[in-house]
Amino acid sequence: MPYLFTSESVSEGHPDKVADQISDALIDNFLAYDLTSKVACETLVTTGQVVLAGEVKSDAYLDVQDIAREVIRRIGYTKSEYMFEANSCGIFSAIHEQSPDINQGVERKSPEEQGAGDQGMMFGYATKETENFMPLALDLAHKLLIELAALRRENKDIQYLRPDAKSQVTIEYSDDNQPIRIDTIVISTQHDDFESEQAMLAKIKQDMIDILIPRVKKGLKPELQSLFTDKITYHINPTGKFVIGGPHGDTGLTGRKIIVDTYGGKGAHGGGAFSGKDPSKVDRSAAYATRHIAKNLVAAGVADEVLVQVSYAIGVAKPCGVFVDTYGTAKVGLKDGEIARKVEEIFDLRPYAIEQRLKLRNPMYGETAAYGHMGRESKTVTKVFNAGKKNEKKVDVELFTWEKLDYVDKVKAAFGL
């Protein structure tokens, strides 16, 4: 019997994502000036206020207030009527030195034996459902908000948009797990005030359906475009007025959108968030490593859908265990346990090896903090830190290295494909 599955996304202006982006901007700046930095920083944003807290071990000195303001400015909180504005918000820092008790469990005389920064389990997932091996509902939810943000910045076709927004996509699947059609799309977008609420609702709904949706469809393959039928149920700003938003509407915290960050409810998620953590924290690095493994397994033809789990003990380099679930889609004549053992042979999952393989000790994290950490394009960019200042620094950074299909040949060789 056909079934429905739903995923959501949130925009870069959502308060939790504002917090994530500030935390990851701090990570990038610390790594840009000291690649050995150990950082775990949390951000809270609310009406007119930012609070920074966490632990740092680094030789770099940062103007954390200036970094936070630049992130807020880039997102688009630049008007006083938002009640949260880059130049005027208060910023309080309670960042302090990292605990030596934690650090002694991570650092070793031999870098290869670097211990895990914490205990826990991490998951990676991939599916043949989309070109980027991501679940379709989440992929579309992200695309809706990326395009909505582009419309906001262009300020031409739609001129009333504010930074905060959420999306949600429900897809109907067949018995054999193939997407049939889009059942429901939900979009809630912050906006300028209108004189008439009734006129406002009608205008926003029309613009979302007649302007936003066609722009998103245009970038999709024909088979995905066909999922947009005239039977879609649209819920556009279903509560009505959405003028008060962002950190003024809701307090934002780092790490509260972990399902948006990963697979939209497909697969599984471990116990930790990503943003604000340097790569010695396996909550982040091992989640990227397992995504890299799952994606390369699917791309190589081992299975149509793969979930990979790895687990660690704090201070210990070797994982406690590796688990693989192919959901019955394996094509190599092996049980999932046998596939997991081969994965351990192909991929070194010690924390230092992950850092080296995926080049994680680089300032690559700001771009991850909105619209998902997975399914993004791996590319090299030049990033500039402290532009125009004495300590300006340019760094060439390869982004989203865990999305590369650079192990497909090794996987095929190992599995005889």
CATH number at residue 318: 3.30.300.10
Q: Which domain holds residue 198?
A: 3-8+136-246
Q: Rounded CA gap, 359 and 399, in Å?
A: 9
Last residue of a domain, one of 188, 220, 246: 246
256 is an annotated ligand-binding site residue:
yes
Closest Cα partner for 84 from 137, 121, 46, 112? 46
Q: Is residue 303 part of a domain?
A: yes
Provide the whole-model pTM: 0.96
What is the pLDDT at residue 109? Answer: 61
What is the domain count for the chain? Answer: 2
What is the pLDDT at residue 97? Answer: 84
241 is an annotated ligand-binding site residue:
yes
Closest Cα partner for 361 from 292, 279, 286? 279
Q: Rounded CA gap, 187 and 79, in Å?
A: 23
353 is an annotated ligand-binding site residue:
no
Q: Is residue 89 part of a domain?
A: no
- Is the pLDDT assigned to residue 298 strictly greater than 90? yes
- Determine the 3-state secondary structure of 49 from DSSP: strand
295 is an annotated ligand-binding site residue:
no
Q: Rounded CA gap, 6 and 170, in Å?
A: 4
**pLDDT band for position 108 (50/70/90)?**
low
Question: What tens digit of pLDDT does each residue of 13-38 get?
Answer: 999 999 999 999 999 999 999 999 99
CB 405 within 8 A of CB 295: yes
157 is an annotated ligand-binding site residue:
no
166 is an annotated ligand-binding site residue:
yes
Q: Is residue 251 part of a domain?
A: no
Over residues 150-163, mean pLDDT:
97
What is the pLDDT at residue 341? Answer: 97
**pLDDT band for position 304 (50/70/90)?**
very high
What is the pLDDT at residue 100? Answer: 61
Q: Is residue 99 part of a domain?
A: no
State in Å, rounded, how far the first CA of the chain is from the last one.
34
Same domain, 359 and 306: yes
Over residues 93-116, mean pLDDT:
69
Phi, psi of 249 (to 5 degrees): -85, -35
- Is the pLDDT assigned to residue 102 strictly greater than 60? no
What is the pLDDT at residue 103? Answer: 54
Q: Is residue 36 part of a domain?
A: no
- Paired tokens of 145: 């908000």
Question: What tens digit of pLDDT does each residue of 41-88 get?
Answer: 999 999 999 999 999 999 999 999 999 999 999 999 999 999 999 999
257 is an annotated ligand-binding site residue:
yes
- Is the pLDDT assigned to residue 213 strictly greater than 90? yes
Q: Is residue 75 part of a domain?
A: no
Same domain, 210 and 300: no
Same domain, 349 and 286: yes
